[in-house]
Amino acid sequence: MKLYRLFSLLTGLFIFSGTVNGDNPCELECFMVMAGKNATADGSVLLAHNNDLRGNNASFFAKIPAKKHGHGETIVFSSGLEIPQAEETYEWIVLQVYRGFAEGDAKAVNEHQVAIAGGVALGGDRNEKAAEADPMLENGLPGGIRYVVLERSETAREAVEMLGRKYSKYGITYPSGVGIADPDEVWYIEAGGGRSWAAVRVPDSAVWVQANGYRIQDIDPRDSANVIVSPGLLEFAEEKGLWDPSEGSFNFARAFGGRRLTREGSEHYDSRRVWGAMRKLVPSYNLVPDKTEYPMFVIPDEKLTVMKMTEILRDHYRGTEYDTFAGEKSGVNERAIAVPNCVHTSVIQLRGWLPSDIGAVLWGGPGSPLSTPFIPYYFGTEDFPEAFKTAGPAYDPGSAFWKFRTIQNLMTPYFEHLSDMVQSEWRKFEKHLFILQEYTEETALKLYSKNPELARQFLTGYSSGKSLEALEKAVKLAGEMHTEIAIISR
């Protein structure tokens, strides 16, 4: 099935497609890790994200061109809300699901290296008192607003401030957390209700870990360099009984969250994933796995790399009693970071000392990190192989997503037998890509200094070639897995 476009131009309006197939945002769980520029080995900002939906929400890559818009053009969201379009929007690259990005199911980078790291649904953690005090607005802004903001912003702070203003003006349909960054700053913004929100800047030397529970803790809105909140937030929280100043500083997560998902009988449905990442990032902290709150910011014991981020995204607590794939009893009530129903995974790399065409790289996989490699797509990439632009809700042998999904479908029932076969293949493939990165960018920079278009053509060819190589490996790997299953199923 051919790809579905991000939006369609109908009678002069940009229509942002809505939720389909009865998906409830509360059921759509994701995971995110963001690292400031001083927390990484090369000084880049790194943004890692798993997007977990129903397994047939096929994903694909697209490049959205910059565009000038006519007077009076508007954007219409799935909620029915209509807002003015900007006079000009920037170019961006995106990894998204076939049904569009109306609910926020995408990761993207624009021409100024402003990136949407991804989002997380927070409705399952919003407490009943907050829900009553600040109800969601049925005709408010859905998750697609974050990409409207992306195509209008030149810095991460500008994007966060714009997003917050629109939250306050139009209201919000569903509470979520969003990561937004550029090569200099990393921000995270949470919606507490229909019009309540808060955003914090992640320190340059720190890492932010995010699952599906509220994580913005003690904040001081007077610290305007690092904290931005909705107008009158503290006064509103006090008036509605969400916060008592006599009990201490304002904690956004406790005011609006704390209900905790207890699906499958675990009160650590969200917090275990935060611990799972932190045990790899900061083993020196000796964090215990049964807390419901963990530090907002942590300083990693070792500087982070793209490779380290991919390892975190693939974590299922292997080697612990919580391993979700180690036999029938282990991890039975757990939710891992890496799950089979993840529909796209990525690590975004931002480097301001390089031209955006080369400095911004979306290391993406159209599928679960358990079964999909991370392939580098430079912002300068002008097009993608047909298979990586093709996605739909039913199996399609011409879609890269469905090729990698086949590997996942084969592996899941026989995970202990087949996961090492799959992971070793992709780690070997990715190791080669990490080695090639320096030489690829050196060549691209030489071309860019002479002719930027030549550099873009080179990068397009490089990423396309590696994409097709991965696809060939996937087909071969699936055949080997069929054989292995036949042997172990005797």
Instruction: For the chain, give the secondary structure using H, E and C.
Output: CCCCCCEEEECCEEEECCCCCCCCHHHCCEEEEEECHHHECCCCEEEEEEEECCCCCCEEEEEECCEECCCCCEEECCCCCEEECCCEECCEEEEEECCECCCCCEEEEECCCCEEEEEEECCCCCCHHHHHHCCCCCCCECCCHHHHHHCCCCCHHHHHHHHHHHHHHHCECCCEEEEEECCCCEEEEEECCCCCEEEEEECCCCEEEECCCCCCCECCCCCCCCEEECCCHHHHHHHCCCCCHHHCCCEHHHHHCCCCCCHHHCCCCCHHHHHHHHHHHCHHHCCCCCCCCCCCEECCCCCECHHHHHHHHCCCCCCCCCCCCCCCCCCCCCCCCCCCCEEEEEEEEECCCCCHHHHCEEEEECCCCCCCCCEEEECCCCCCCHHHHCCCCCCCCCCHHHHHHHHHHHHHHHHHHHHHHHHHHHHHHHHHHHHHHHHHHHHHHHHHHHCHHHHHHHHHHHHHHHHHHHHHHHHHHHHHHHHHHHHHCC
In the prediction, which pLDDT does 28 show? 58
**How far apart are the C-alpha atoms of 433 and 29, rounded to whole Å?**
29
Please list, residue by residue across 99-123, b when 16 or more beta carbons sit within 10 angstroms of its beta carbon and e when fewer do.
Answer: bbbbbbbbbbbbbbbbbbbbbbbbb
What value does the mean pLDDT take over residues 98-108? 84
pLDDT tens for 72-91 read: 999 999 999 999 999 999 99
In the prediction, which pLDDT does 331 show? 67
**Residue 20: pLDDT band by 50, 70, 90 thresholds?**
very low
pLDDT of 26 strictly over 60: no
What value does the mean pLDDT take over residues 328-356? 91
pLDDT of 262 strictly over 80: no
Residue in this structure with the two tokens 């979700």, named with its chain if needed: 324
In the prediction, which pLDDT does 327 show? 72
**How far apart are the C-alpha atoms of 48 and 59, rounded to whole Å?**
17
pLDDT of 263 strictly over 80: no
What value does the mean pLDDT take over residues 340-350? 97
pLDDT of 6 strictly over 70: no
In the prediction, which pLDDT does 316 show? 96
In the prediction, which pLDDT does 111 show? 98
**Residue 329: pLDDT band by 50, 70, 90 thresholds?**
low
In the prediction, which pLDDT does 326 show? 84
In the prediction, which pLDDT does 371 show? 97
**Residue 96: pLDDT band by 50, 70, 90 thresholds?**
very high
pLDDT of 465 strictly over 90: yes
Q: Is the pTM of this model over 0.85?
A: yes
The set of residues, in sequence order, having a beta carbon less than 8 Å from that of 430 and lying 6+ positions away, is 307, 310, 373, 374
CB atoms within 10 A of CB 170: 20
Q: Which two tokens stand for residue 90?
A: 């920037």
pLDDT tens for 147-174 read: 999 999 999 999 999 999 999 999 999 9
Q: Which two tokens stand for residue 382?
A: 């002008």
In the prediction, which pLDDT does 216 show? 98
Percent of the chain with pLDDT over 90: 87
Among 406, 430, 429, which Cα is nearest to 418's? 406
In the prediction, which pLDDT does 165 show? 98
pLDDT of 5 strictly over 80: no
pLDDT of 18 strictly over 50: no
Query: For the ranges 63-72, 161-170, 259-268, which has the lowest average pLDDT?
Result: 259-268
| CATH of region 7-488, choose from 3.40.50.1980, 3.40.50.720, 3.40.50.450, 3.60.60.10 | 3.60.60.10
The set of residues, in sequence order, having a beta carbon less than 8 Å from that of 209 and lying 6+ positions away, is 32, 33, 215, 274, 277, 278, 281, 294, 298
**Residue 105: pLDDT band by 50, 70, 90 thresholds?**
confident
Q: What is the mean pLDDT of the chain?
A: 92
Q: Yes or no: say if 109 and 183 are a contact pair by the CB < 8 Å rule.
A: no
Q: Which residue has the higher pLDDT, 4 or 293?
A: 293
What value does the mean pLDDT take over residues 311-324? 95
What value does the mean pLDDT take over residues 283-299? 96
pLDDT of 7 strictly over 80: no
pLDDT tens for 221-237 read: 999 999 999 999 999 99
**How far apart are the C-alpha atoms of 187 and 96, rounded to whole Å?**
21
pLDDT of 462 strictly over 90: yes
**Residue 99: pLDDT band by 50, 70, 90 thresholds?**
confident
